[in-house]
Amino acid sequence: MNPPSDDPLQYCRFCFSQFRVEPLLSGAQKDQQLINQISSIIQIKLDPDQASVTAICSMCRTQLKEFQLFRERCSHHDSIVREKVEGIQSSNNDMWFAVETLDDNDDSDEESAAMGKSDPLRNVPGAGSEKQTRENFWGAISQDVGVIPEHIQRALELTGFYRNASLGMISPTTIKQIEQDMPEAIEFVISQESKRTEVLRQYYGSVYCKNPAKFKFLAGEVQTILSITATVQENGIAEYLNKACVSQRVHNQTRRDQLYAAEKPDNADVFAEELVAKIKDYYKQHATSDKGFTDFFSRLPGVEGCDVRQTEDGTIFALLHCFYCKKNLKAFRSNRWNAWQISNFVQHCQHHYRIKYKISRRKRIQGGGNAEDATE
């Protein structure tokens, strides 16, 4: 196999592509950094003379950036894990004590699920869902390429070209492969969701949703996909991932603003006293003479650390301030039981003072009709 040209600046040294090729060195201070990346990541060493007559295509340059980002991200996450493991191994102060699970009526799992539906933030736009992240990502790319039909977005997601560098590596041949892979993948989606008509419309579009066997991307849709690829090649996938994250942070701020916009009920102080009393009564039932428990108990939130609010539909909730991590945790007041649910707060406190739960079950006493609690 021979190089595609006698002029090394007319083709990419790393893949022989002659599309979107440019000199490797630009005369900038980052040239040496780029040479070092090539040496460390793909194990090709170039001296200054070789580098000066070397070209690279936009796709390989993007891949090089992605490899570097991947390497840095892995190193960062590995350091976090190592610090965590070493911290656990060196810590001799973790106190464990056994308590019963929350099994009073107002803190039942069934009621917790019901109250979850009353979360005042549940319907706030941009509340940090995967759907919102997806919309942010495609919205960022749409700013550069124009409207991207939904079925194209879903087709690329379904076949693995979503939020990664491969989105910048699609060719006409790849598009044909996507068309071939889609039927089997879509049938799997249908088997999981059982809404066949809606799924076919989402993935095949309005033209082929009623005749998926003949599906293929229209000429304009092919150009849209190639435009997406060219844009990601030019700017790098990281730019659009970052834009999606920025949009997400803006949405999260909106979520927090919505939370604090809820008004205080007239009897907020009474509700706060009830909530604080319930939390402390719960832990008093399992008090020990251990100093660790005493310190933990003294840092439970008081009335001043309990901000009670009421949504427009009448749902009462509170923000409990955690002394340890400085976060505000939500607690809801059950309309059914007229009592506070504290399971969310208790579970969070596991991170600060470990609690080993006993598994409670109910069993019948032989020869009688009463029940008693037993632990396993």
pLDDT of 153 higher than 80: yes
**Separation between Cα atoms, residue 359 and residue 146, nearest integer Å:** 56
**Separation between Cα atoms, residue 121 and residue 258, nearest integer Å:** 7
272, 317 contact by CB (below 8 A) = no
Reduce the DSSP state of residue 306 to 3 states and report it.
Answer: strand
- Residue 290 CA to its chain's centroid (Å): 39
Reported confidence tier of residue 352, pLDDT bands at 50, 70, 90: confident
Read off the tokens for 163: 């939020």
- The answer to whether 325 is a known ligand-binding residue is no
Nearest to 332 by CA among 256, 271, 252: 271
Reported confidence tier of residue 224, pLDDT bands at 50, 70, 90: very high
Read off the tokens for 184: 């089997």
Window from 66-75, 95-104, 206-215, 336-345 with minimum mean pLDDT: 95-104
pLDDT of 376 higher than 50: no
Window from 164-168, 179-183, 221-225 with minimum mean pLDDT: 164-168
**Separation between Cα atoms, residue 170 and residue 172, nearest integer Å:** 7
Please give the pLDDT value at position 160: 82
**Separation between Cα atoms, residue 259 and residue 120, nearest integer Å:** 7
| Average confidence (pLDDT) over 143-159 | 90
Of the chain, the percentage scoring pLDDT greater than 90 comes to 12
**Separation between Cα atoms, residue 176 and residue 215, nearest integer Å:** 11
Burial status of residue 339 (CB atoms within 10 A of its CB: 0-12, 13-18, 19 or more): middle
- The answer to whether 74 is a known ligand-binding residue is no
Window from 78-82, 261-265, 274-278, 372-376 with minimum mean pLDDT: 372-376
| Average confidence (pLDDT) over 89-114 | 38
| Average confidence (pLDDT) over 16-43 | 82
Neighbours of 357 (CB within 10 A): 14
Pick the CATH number of 1-87 from 3.40.1800.20, 3.40.50.300, 1.10.1740.110, 3.30.420.40: 3.40.1800.20
pLDDT of 318 higher than 80: yes
Q: What's the order of all strands across the beta sheet hosting 316-321?
A: 306-310, 316-321, 328-334, 339-341
- The answer to whether 322 is a known ligand-binding residue is no
- The answer to whether 57 is a known ligand-binding residue is yes
Burial status of residue 363 (CB atoms within 10 A of its CB: 0-12, 13-18, 19 or more): exposed
**Separation between Cα atoms, residue 295 and residue 300, nearest integer Å:** 9
Amino acid identity of residue 8, one-letter, is P
Please give the pLDDT value at position 260: 58
Phi, psi of 55 (to 5 degrees): -115, 160
Please give the pLDDT value at position 257: 57
Higher pLDDT, 43 or 357: 43
56, 12 contact by CB (below 8 A) = yes
pLDDT of 366 higher than 60: no
CATH 3.40.1800.20 residue ranges of the chain are 1-87
pLDDT tens sequence across 36-79: 888 888 888 888 778 888 888 888 887 887 787 777 777 777 77
Nearest to 51 by CA among 17, 18, 24, 22: 24
